[in-house]
Structure 1
């Protein structure tokens, strides 16, 4: 993929639509899907939310898991080349499953597949930008809100940019969780990573209907270096990451980079609490020459504060000894606990 090709992609807007439909498959879980100590079982169901892309109907798939009595839901957006499974990692789930960690704390989770990924619809890739994805998530938030008192929108990496665009544009959530993303993107490492992507149609595991050549994925054998280093290389965990990888549209990167590293209009509009979490070794967003200061929680908060209004009451957390995809970190429970504590303050 050539960088110039990214710049040619246009920003499209989604028209609003409403509705929340259960997908054909649904389940009410017991211990096998994350029983909650002291709070009863967790009910999980697959949802399909109708959305519209430039007048064309599509749908966003999500997995909603609700502990008994939960009043807060986190709507979770995965990063590029990930789908909703990033929030519920099957390898060592007691440690790495963000979904189970939140459910154990009594917080409901709705992990969505971005348009083009997982079981969501697959529009033409040129129509899929961070802004269109954010509007799709807005429709998901609108559909699920009647079931909960509070809604938090959260995202990882490019999904975090979408969460910020959604919150700043529509102001319909009670908090924003940002993981694996800062405003000081280290383009020295990001651009080569993007340039190393391959069309998903060339990957034997991702040759599925509806994907045009604008949908990209990681080349085989590159995920540890791109997403996990300098964390420990756990082959079984990296194997799960490779087996569950997905796609992203080249056009999703365009407004993520320009809106959050040049213009920065949306984050100043966010008027609810925000929490930012990164791995200390995330070279895509941390460290010299262009990244944020991720040496400590205080330095990260100081680095990100200028991009937010006082209403964001910015919280920060740095997870030591890991790179970009922090849900895979063996010490991920430390950041899970920090998010749980922050959510309780909303």
Structure 2
């Protein structure tokens, strides 16, 4: 596995970037694993790479949505802005290896991402980058918080689909819409043990996209690319990544982007009505070193890359990244 390192056949993704598949050798609590990442580099190269972590029951496709990619592909937007990207499949999802679920926690997965970042900085897998922006969505944002706060090896952190104040009523439908992955024909014979979960068929619009408009083709892509997660990951996600202010240990610039998220937004939760509202409710959880910047995407729910107006959020990230890190 280590000898292979990465797949060497480059593949053109568009006029302004080239992409290839990378397989990162990592260890998960001393057990060898492989984490898959899709590397895309702008023509002419880049000094900065954005490492992109998807959320629960998502994989790397969340960052490169094939439906209306000119609007919904975060990867494409960042490549056009001059940033390289590595969209990861979390362990147990996509083309990454599938470990025993008991080994997967937010902390152990954050450690695995740390290993990937070290390989990107050193050039151990081929490409080498001097600066790293770590970006997460939902559960992936919890991993990003813990990674950045623990290892201090990134230059900035983007948090999407996650906040410290939770709308408890909004979490119930999400957990209720899951079943063991082995009971879903999509994952039959995939090697997932019974603790791996996925979403029930035709539930993703209600739990991830509302109150946004229902665009059938976009939702169909989301359903077709759904993946797995493990509920035990929520234990340290909620305790360390959300409830405790562990995020105050992050000492690099942080940006938070939220839609009208039913899990995190509400009168007794996070004020997602505006960027100022998000900053007011989230600033307690970050130090002055984080220089917190916020963005509120109007008219959509949890999975903001799917929003018809996602370019507004992508542009806001680009402007922030240019100011704080640069390409």
Matched with 1:214 is: 195
Q: Is the 8 A contact 2:181 2:196 kept in 1?
A: yes
> TM-score, normalising length from structure 2?
0.94
Matched with 2:133 is: 152
Matched with 2:101 is: 125
Count of aligned positions: 317
Against the structure 1 CA distance between its residues 236 and 256, is the aligned structure 2 distance closer, same or farther, given a 3 Å change threshold?
same
CA distance in 1, matches of 2:115, 2:237: 20
Matched with 1:309 is: 287
Deviation for aligned residue 1:20: 9.1
> TM-score, normalising length from structure 1?
0.89
Against the structure 1 CA distance between its residues 323 and 174, is the aligned structure 2 distance closer, same or farther, given a 3 Å change threshold?
same
Deviation for aligned residue 1:192: 3.4
Against the structure 1 CA distance between its residues 160 and 20, is the aligned structure 2 distance closer, same or farther, given a 3 Å change threshold?
farther
Deviation for aligned residue 1:264: 2.4
Matched with 2:301 is: 323
CA distance in 2, matches of 1:196, 1:112: 24
Counterpart selection for 1:253 from 223, 234, 259: 234
Q: Is the 8 A contact 1:21 1:48 kept in 2?
A: yes
Deviation for aligned residue 1:21: 2.0
Deviation for aligned residue 1:181: 0.6
Q: Is the 8 A contact 1:129 1:252 kept in 2?
A: yes
CA distance in 2, matches of 1:287, 1:276: 16
Matched with 1:95 is: 71
Counterpart selection for 2:40 from 61, 65, 70: 65
Deviation for aligned residue 1:252: 1.3
Q: Is the 8 A contact 1:125 1:250 kept in 2?
A: no
1:1-346 aligned within 5 A: 21-23=5-7, 26-29=9-12, 33-36=13-16, 42-67=17-42, 68-146=44-122, 147-265=128-246, 267-279=247-259, 281-289=260-268, 291-345=269-323, 346=325
Deviation for aligned residue 1:56: 1.4
Q: Which runs of 4+ in 1 moved over 4 A?
A: none
- RMSD in angstroms over aligned alpha carbons? 1.4
Q: Is the 8 A contact 1:301 1:315 kept in 2?
A: yes
Q: Is the 8 A contact 2:181 2:194 kept in 1?
A: yes
